[in-house]
Amino acid sequence: MHLGFTAAGMADARELAVAYAEALSLLRPELAIGAAALSPADAWHRAERLFCGAFGPDGERCVDVAEHPGFHHAPGPGGLGWGDGDGPCDG
């Protein structure tokens, strides 16, 4: 699915895209939120991932935003956390 919108700059666009992806995942949990990416409308080849996606010890994927600081977190309230918590993730 492609969702087009206008933003003042890339930082605003990333924030909006994350919010849209998270909201859509609440409405349609079967959507793969980890596959969400952001790109300029005329440059799909420059797509940047929005979420970390690092694999955890039990095969779960981190649902925090890409390059987040600290631990990785599995989905859901009280989801498993892993990693050493130092610096940004390298998902």
3-state SS, 13-72, equals HHHHHHHHHHHHHHHCCCCCHHHCEECCCCCHHHCEECECCCECCCCCECCCECCCECCE
Give the chain's radius of gyration (CA, Å). Answer: 14
Which of 15-19, 25-29, 85-89 has the least mean pLDDT?
85-89
Res. 85: pLDDT tops 80: no
pLDDT, one tens digit per residue, over 26-80 is 898 888 888 899 998 888 889 999 999 888 888 888 889 998 888 888 877 778 8
Query: In this structure, are residues 49 and 82 in contact, taking their beta carbons and an 8 Å threshold?
Result: no
Average pLDDT rounded to a whole number, residues 5-12: 93
Q: Which residues contact 48 (CB under 8 A, 6 or more apart)?
A: 14, 37, 38, 39, 66
Give the pLDDT score at 89.
65
- What predicted TM-score, i.e. pTM, was given to this entire model? 0.76
Give the pLDDT score at 16.
95
Give the pLDDT score at 48.
93
Res. 91: pLDDT tops 70: no
